[in-house]
Chains A and B, each alone.
Chain A
Amino acid sequence: MKFIRLKAVTRKEFYHLIRDYRSLYLAFAIPLLLIILFGYALSLDVDNVETVFVDYDKSELSRDFIRKLDASPYFRVSALLPASKDAVDFLDHDRAKLAIVIPPDFKKSIGADREIQLQIIIDGSDPSFGNIVRGYISAFVERYNQKMLIHFLNRQGQERIHPPVDGRVRIWFNEDMESRNFIIPGLIAVIIMIVGAILTSLIIVREYENGTMETIKSMPVQAGEFLLGKAIPYFFIGLTDLLIAVLLGQLLFGIVMKGNFGLLMVAASLYLSVALSLGILISNVTKSQMLANQMAILTTYLPSLLLSNFVFPIINMPKFLQMITLVVPARYFIDILSGIYLKNLGIAYLWPSMLVLLLMFIVLTFLNYKMLKKEGL
């Protein structure tokens, strides 16, 4: 490998990059857009569920029940409707997600120590939401029942009855329970994959389509120099994007990493290298810009979003998909990010993920090298 040739290739690639204002601008605008917009906009936390009541009882007790539900941060009572069919209407029109019907003998039954039926309807079209709401409403009802029981027993006996067990819940790692705290670090993985792979997927294809690849093959440029020279400018862009993302996360959203920044940089560089190699591989294989772009989206953006534990837990996936996630680089990087941001883990815990990334990088580079050599470089 000759340094002077490497410099020439790198420099040409830099010029390409810098003079293509649109691509350059996008390389920075995309991370900015993602972090700012999504940091503010995206949240998976469920609270203030739109709830409507149909109260056929209209007693002090039923109103108290409604008030108690409304007091919970999880629910928001938005309307008191006169009849069930109005509730149905609301659900159909998406004006409420939860409807509860209180029967006419609510107060009487409770006063007479009789069981009463409560009709609860959840809008299940969004299952994530539906599942969570189901959990919340069950908990609310159970809690209400427990109170009822204790009142009942207190009325029976002399002493004060206490609930036997009290659960003390301590949340670890994301103490303020903001989904943002795991979404934003996760976005970093998505961003780097996008910038790394989608940008680079075009750079070699471009040479093929323009015909300049022929010229390059006839020159003494070696495959290694070519690969490195092409990747270097994008490496710097990727790192810059990383810094922007980290900085924005901190400045705008107060998301501070508990762990070691240096470790993050090392891991990020590794991940970035994997992303770049992947992009270059796609570029080498497809030789058509349109195809390269679609392949890049399919094999880098979507997996890093869906199969990386970013939003959808891998544990919940069917076995065959779980196997596939083993080759998704983003999965390991998100492990590392979550470890550094939320858990303050050090290299002692993170080395396996980093090792996998390193292996991926080596394999991809080897493939790229072999392909270029086959082309005659």
Chain B
Amino acid sequence: MSWLRIRELVRKEFIQLFNDKRNRAMIMIMPFIMMFVFGYVVNYDIKNVRMAVLDYSKTPESRSLIKSFEGNNIFHVTHVVANEKHMTELLLRQKIDVGIKIGHDFASVMREGRTAPVQFLVDGSMSNMTSVRVAYIASILDRFNREELRKLYPVDMSYGKLDARVRTWYNPNLDSQYFFVPGIVAFLIMLTSFILTSIAIIREKEDGTMEQLIVTPLKSYEFIIGKTIPYIIIALCQLFAVTAVAVYWFEIPFKGSFVLLLIAACLFLLSNLGIGLFISTISSTKQQAMMTAFFFILPFFMLSGFVFPIANMPEIVQWLTYLNPLRFFLVIIRDIFLKGVGMDVMWPQYLALSILGIIVFTGAIMRFKKRLD
């Protein structure tokens, strides 16, 4: 194996890549754009739920009920309407998320000691948000009920009440950025290795220089190593950059070991580069390579747990995700950033990444023949 040959291949690859000013810009800027978009786009706080009030009762009791919703920062009364039609309009036009309708006999029924119904119209379009909003509505109502009962029956309110001390671990403020920004590293590495590597190889084919290389004493594995090293370097640089921004700008905690992260990244790269190689062997033009790469990236991305939770997926699909290196890498990333655990906890993921990486990469190399036929 000649390191000289590999060195020259790598140098040539870098020259080609960074020659074009725009390519340079794209490689360097993409990570930051992604981070800022992902970092700020995602916000799962349950807050600013827009509420419209239709109060036919207009009594101190009904106003008290409305106040209990305004008192917290989850709901926000944005409209007070006078009729159903208006409320319907607001819901249809997506100007409100919840509508509350209080009947005119609200106060009287309550004072009689009976139960007064209150209608809530909830926009169910985004069902995951809806269900938690409904849960909060129930919480607030239950609390309101206890207050009212206390007023109605002024006895010494000492009963077996549960005082729930809720602690949120790993991400105490439920900061969405904590979850997403580290994951971007993974996504970027995937993009770089899939697309850039496969194109790098096909470019030689399309330009005719592949033929020239075949005629030289260059061995297949030297070619592969020479072609993949630049992208390993680029991916690792992106890793550094994203981690730095994550820690210093977004102030995301980094509790674990950076060395472990580096190792995981390299293992992850192995599978990705293998797939990039594979794509280059089944495509004859750059367009095909890019479309095929995209075709792979989609399911890997969507079924990795990055946006859509794996736990929600049907059994078969959950088993399929075991073939997805991104899935394991994401777990490692989050564990290292947020939980600070070590190999003793993470070793299954490392093992999985290694196995996948070795199988995919070796398979791709075997497929890769230096000869044109």
Contacts and interface: CB of A to CB of B under 8 A. Distances in A.
Interface of A: 20, 22-23, 26-27, 29-30, 33-34, 37-38, 40-46, 48, 50, 91-94, 109-132, 134-139, 141-146, 148-153, 156-157, 159, 161-175, 177-179, 181-182, 194, 198-199, 202, 206, 286, 288-291, 293-295, 297-298, 302, 306-307, 311-313, 315-318, 320-321, 335, 338, 342-343, 345, 349
B169 A173 contact: no
B309 interface: yes
Contacts of A298: 30, 33-34
Contacts of A144: 162
Contact of B126 (A117, A157, A182): A182
B167 A34 contact: no
21 contacts: A22-B292, A30-B298, A41-B313, A44-B128, A46-B128, A118-B163, A120-B165, A120-B167, A124-B172, A125-B170, A142-B143, A146-B146, A148-B159, A161-B153, A162-B115, A171-B124, A177-B130, A179-B126, A294-B195, A298-B30, A321-B37
- Most chain B CB inside 10 Å of its own CB: which residue of A29, A43, A126, A129: A126
A125 B339 contact: yes
Contact of B46 (A113, A122, A135): A135
B303 interface: yes
A170 B122 contact: yes
Interface of B: 20, 22-23, 26, 30, 33-34, 37-38, 40-48, 50, 65, 91-94, 110, 113-139, 141-146, 148-149, 152-153, 155, 157-172, 174-176, 178-179, 191, 195-196, 199, 283, 285-288, 290-292, 294-295, 298-299, 302-303, 307-309, 311-314, 317, 331, 334, 338-339, 341, 345
A121 B169 contact: yes
Nearest to A97: B311
A146 B145 contact: yes
A122 B166 contact: yes
B307 A311 contact: yes
A307 B37 contact: yes
A26 to B, nearest CB: 5
A114 B131 CA distance: 32
A42 B339 CA distance: 26
The 7 closest A-B pairs by CB, nearest first: A110-B160, A174-B124, A152-B159, A135-B132, A124-B168, A124-B171, A142-B142
B137 A169 contact: yes
Contacts, number: 370
A205 to B, nearest CB: 9
A235 to B, nearest CB: 18
Contacts of B302: 34, 37-38, 41-42
A289 B290 CA distance: 9
Contacts of A286: 22
A131 B45 contact: yes
Given A26-B295, A290-B286, 5 more contacts: A20-B287, A117-B163, A124-B170, A167-B137, A313-B129
Contact of A289 (B124, B133, B287): B287
B291 A37 contact: no
B128 A172 contact: no
Contacts of B44: 127-128, 130-131, 316
Contact of A179 (B127, B145, B168): B127
Contacts of A295: 26
A93 B158 CA distance: 40
Nearest to A295: B26
A37 B287 CA distance: 24
A50 B312 CA distance: 12
A342 B162 contact: no
B135 A290 contact: no
A92 B105 CA distance: 52
Contact of A162 (B34, B113, B137, B309): B113
A297 B290 CA distance: 11
B179 A127 contact: yes
